[in-house]
C-alpha cells in the first residue's frame, strides 16, 4: 500500500485519536468518540505504527504516529506526565527527530538564508561598492559607529544588571519578530518565507562583509560569534516551518488544502517551539556574554565554535533512541 493511500485511509482515525486525547486534557473540548472505544482504537493505532515502520514510510509519518501512540499509551496505562517532564522529552528527544525528518525544508531554508549571507560576507570585502547597493548610507553609518574599534571603550562597556535585562528583552523581541515573520510568511504559499529568508540573508551578509572590509574584525566578529549559532539556526528553523506550510498549500497531494495545511501546521508549530527556545538562548548570550568588551576576541571565537558544535551535535545525535 502506498504511503499516500495509507495516510488518506487512516488519517481521519488518527485525527480523531488526537482530538480525543486533547479532550482528556481540556474538559471544554468534546470527545469525537466514546471512551469505551479507546482501547480498540489504541490497539489499532499501534498496528498502524508497526505497518508504517515495516514498510519504510517517511520519517515524518512514523514520527507523527509514534508521538500519538506514546500519548495514547500514557493515557491507557494511567501514566501521568508533568509539564517539566513533557518539555524535557520534547527538547531532548522529540525535537531533534522532528528537525531531522524535515531536513529537506531545512536545507532549502539554509540555501535561501545562509547562501546570500555567506556569499556577501566574502565578496564585499573584495568589492566594497556592492555594500552600498544594499545598505542605505544611514544603515552603513550606524553599523560603522556600533563596531568602530576607535570607540572600543564604549562597545560592550560594563552595564548595570537592569540594563542587561533591558537589552535581553530587546534582543528577544527583535529575534522573535524575525522568526515569526519568516514562519507566518508561509501562509502566502511560501512566498513570504522565501522573501524574509532572502532579505535577512542579504542584509546580514552585507553588514558582515562591509564591516569585515573596514577591518572591524574583533569588534564585530567578537560580538556576533557567541550567539550566532543559536540565532541563525533559529531563523533557518522558522524558515523550514514556513516553507513546509507553503508547500502544503501549493501541493497538498491527495488531501484537501485545509487538511494538508492542518497537518503542516502541527509540525510547523513544533518547529517554532524549538526555534523560540534557540532565540531565547541567543538573546541571553547576546545580552550577558557577547556585549562584554574585556573578554579577548579569541576567547569569544572559541566559544562561538563550541556553540556551533553544540547545536550540530544536538540535532544530529539526540533523539536516536525512543523516549519512554
> Which tens digit of pLDDT belongs to each residue from 174-206?
888 899 999 999 999 999 999 999 999 999 999
Averaged confidence pLDDT in the chain: 87
pLDDT of residue 66: 86
pLDDT over 50 (residue 323): no
Of 53-62, 90-99, 212-221, 258-267, give the lowest mean pLDDT range: 53-62
Distance separating alpha carbons of residues 190 and 247, to the nearest angstrom = 7
As given in the structure block, the three cell numbers for residue 41 are 482504537
Q: How far apart are CA 322 and CA 93, in angstroms?
A: 8
Identify which of 155, 298, 145 has the alpha carbon closest to the alpha carbon of residue 214. 145
Q: Who has greater pLDDT, 115 or 3?
A: 115
- Find out whether 219 and 295 touch, Cβ atoms under 8 Å: no
Residue 147: per-residue pLDDT? 86
Q: Which among 236, 210, 206, 229 is positioned nearest to 286, based on CA atoms?
A: 229
Nearest to 234 by CA among 177, 187, 318: 177
Does the structure show a pLDDT above 80 at 162?
no
Q: Which of 225, 272, 273 is nearest to 86 (CA)?
A: 273
Q: Do 255 and 263 contact (CB within 8 A), yes or no?
A: yes
In angstroms, rounded to a whole number, what is the distance separating the alpha carbons of residues 219 and 302? 15
Cβ atoms < 10 Å from Cβ of 239: 32
Burial of 137 (0-12, 13-18, 19+ CB in 10 A): exposed
| Per-residue model confidence (pLDDT) at position 253 | 82
CB 246 within 8 A of CB 188: yes
- Contacts with 277 (C-beta within 8 Å, 6 or more apart), sequence order: 91
Compute, in degrees rounded to 10, the torsion defined by CA atoms 116, 121, 122, 127.
Answer: 100
Write down the pLDDT at residue 20: 87
pLDDT tens digits, 208-217:
999 999 999 9
Q: What cell does 161 get?
A: 544588571
**Cβ contact 134:203 at 8 Å:** yes
The pLDDT score that the predictor gives to residue 158 is 52
So what's the pLDDT on residue 72? 86
Handedness of CA 277, 280, 181, 240 (dihedral sign): negative
Amino acid at each position: 500500500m502506498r504511503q499516500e493511500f495509507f495516510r488518506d485511509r487512516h488519517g481521519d482515525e488518527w485525527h480523531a485519536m488526537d482530538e480525543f486525547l486533547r479532550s482528556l486534557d481540556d474538559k471544554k473540548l468534546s470527545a469525537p468518540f466514546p471512551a469505551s472505544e479507546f482501547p480498540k482504537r489504541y490497539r489499532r493505532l499501534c498496528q498502524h505504527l508497526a505497518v508504517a515502520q515495516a514498510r519504510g514510510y517517511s520519517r515524518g509519518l512514523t514520527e507523527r504516529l509514534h508521538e500519538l501512540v506514546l500519548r495514547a499509551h500514557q493515557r491507557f496505562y494511567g501514566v501521568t506526565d508533568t509539564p517539566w517532564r513533557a518539555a524535557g522529552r520534547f527538547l531532548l528527544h522529540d525535537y531533534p527527530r522532528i528537525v531531522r525528518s524535515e531536513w529537506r525544508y531545512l536545507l532549502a531554508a539554509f540555501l535561501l538564508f545562509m547562501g546570500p549571507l555567506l556569499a556577501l560576507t566574502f565578496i564585499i570585502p573584495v568589492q566594497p561598492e556592492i555594500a552600498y547597493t544594499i545598505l542605505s548610507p544611514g544603515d552603513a553609518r550606524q553599523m560603522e559607529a556600533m563596531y568602530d574599534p576607535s570607540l572600543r571603550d564604549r562597545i560592550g562597556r560594563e552595564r548595570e544588571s537592569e540594563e542587561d535585562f533591558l537589552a535581553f528583552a530587546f534582543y528577544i523581541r527583535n529575534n522573535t519578530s524575525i522568526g515569526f515573520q519568516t514562519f507566518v510568511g508561509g501562509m502566502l504559499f511560501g512566498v513570504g518565507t522565501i522573501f524574509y529568508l532572502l532579505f535577512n540573508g542579504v542584509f546580514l551578509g552585507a553588514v558582515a562583509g562591509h564591516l569585515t572590509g573596514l577591518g572591524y574584525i574583533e569588534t564585530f566578529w567578537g560580538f556576533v560569534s557567541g550567539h550566532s549559532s543559536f540565532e541563525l539556526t533559529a531563523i533557518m528553523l522558522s524558515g523550514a516551518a514556513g516553507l513546509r506550510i507553503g508547500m502544503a498549500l501549493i501541493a497538498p497531494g491527495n488531501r484537501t488544502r485545509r487538511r494538508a495545511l492542518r497537518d503542516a501546521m502541527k509540525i510547523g508549530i513544533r518547529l517554532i517551539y524549538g526555534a523560540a527556545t534557540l532565540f531565547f538562548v541567543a538573546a541571553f548570550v547576546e545580552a550577558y556574554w557577547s556585549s562584554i568588551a574585556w573578554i579577548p576576541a579569541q576567547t569569544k571565537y572559541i566559544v562561538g565554535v563550541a556553540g556551533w558544535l553544540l547545536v550540530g551535535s544536538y540535532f544530529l545525535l539526540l533523539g536516536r533512541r525512543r523516549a519512554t
